[in-house]
Amino acid sequence: MQRISAFAETTALMGDPSRANMLFALMDGRALSAGELARFAGVTPQTASGHLGKLAEAGLVVPTRQGRHRYFRLASPSVAQMVESVMSVAEELSGRPLPSTGPRDAALRRVRTCYDHLAGEIAVAIAGRMAERGQLVLSHDGAALTDAGSALLVEMGIAADIIRAPCRSCLDWSERRPHLAGAAGTALYRCFVDHAWFRQREGTRALEITRSGEAALDRWFGIRA
């Protein structure tokens, strides 16, 4: 019963348009001030403060004080995944695209972090290519590496014990198709960053593909970036 109550409280918080807009604004991974979130939601600073207090109390956002200002960010990867999934379902059911979040969108759609793994066009392409080659069994409900997929990741330098851990699929918000998540997804993301194939763009979840990254995508997955 407590779980149902917590579920109802969380969905009720997200159901308010102003609070939904605030969560939507935080989806690119930045920490934003209460004033910035108020402008994004189209409410007064006082109203925004009340909404943010409720979101923080529920554990959906975390406030950080810096000087005279308080900044807010999403509380955890699981919160981001929840918001991203709801956004994807809402767009699919309504038949209308969700509002644009600004000029960063093209970069975020191309390749970004889904907090601890890759997301966007490139991530979906990687998962799709692995599935085509029999290296990954992939669906909206789950994912599993085959022996061929495990061998590929080991060849890329990813530790075998990580690969043996459960992996999962994650429905990509912008592409509405699954990408690879779980331990294998996290290890693949770290592999790309550690080899300087991808670089994090400052102040956003978007990633930049380097020249060596373009070569790696072509070599390992047959993807032309």
Judged against a pLDDT cut of 90, whether residue 91 lies above it is answered with: no
Name residue, tokens 């699929």.
Answer: 169
Across the chain, mean pLDDT equals 86
C-beta contacts of 145-150 below 8 A and 24+ residues apart: 145/184
In which band, very low, low, confident or very high, does the pLDDT at 135 lie, cut at 50, 70 and 90?
very high
Q: Would you state the pLDDT for residue 144?
A: 92
Cα 178 to chain centroid, rounded: 12
Q: Would you state the pLDDT for residue 81?
A: 77
Name residue, tokens 């390992």.
Answer: 220
Q: Would you state the pLDDT for residue 101?
A: 45
Judged against a pLDDT cut of 90, whether residue 103 lies above it is answered with: no
For the segment 88-94, the average pLDDT, to the nearest whole number, is 71
d(CA 181, CA 126): 12
**Which of 48-57, 111-120, 170-179 ranks highest by mean pLDDT?**
48-57
- 3 state SS for the chain: CHHHHHHHHHHHHHHCHHHHHHHHHHHHCCCEEHHHHHHHHCCCHHHHHHHHHHHHHCCCEEEEEECCEEEEEECCHHHHHHHHHHHHHHHHHHCCCCCCCCCCHHHHHHCEECCCCEECHHHHHHHHHHHHCCCEEECCCCEEECHHHHHHHHHCCCCHHHHHCCEEEEECCCCCCEEEEHHHHHHHHHHHHHCCCEEECCCCCEEEECHHHHHHHHHHHCCCC
Judged against a pLDDT cut of 90, whether residue 92 lies above it is answered with: no
d(CA 88, CA 93): 9
Judged against a pLDDT cut of 60, whether residue 100 lies above it is answered with: no
For the segment 51-57, the average pLDDT, to the nearest whole number, is 94
- The more confidently predicted of residues 1 and 185 is 185
For the segment 67-93, the average pLDDT, to the nearest whole number, is 80
Sign of CA dihedral 156, 132, 197, 189: negative
Q: Would you state the pLDDT for residue 27?
A: 76
Q: What is the pLDDT of residues 187-224, one digit of tens each?
A: 999 999 999 999 988 877 889 999 999 999 999 999 99
Q: Would you state the pLDDT for residue 102?
A: 39
| Structure token digits, residue 182 | 């779980």
CB atoms within 10 A of CB 224: 8
- Of 137-146, 176-185, 209-218, where does mean pLDDT reach its minimum? 137-146
In which band, very low, low, confident or very high, does the pLDDT at 26 lie, cut at 50, 70 and 90?
confident
Please work out, in degrees rounded to the nearest 5, the angle formed at the alpha carbon of residue 97 by the alpha carbons of 19 and 78.
50
Q: Would you state the pLDDT for residue 125?
A: 97
Q: Would you state the pLDDT for residue 213?
A: 97
> What is the value of pTM for the model shown?
0.70
Q: Would you state the pLDDT for residue 2?
A: 62
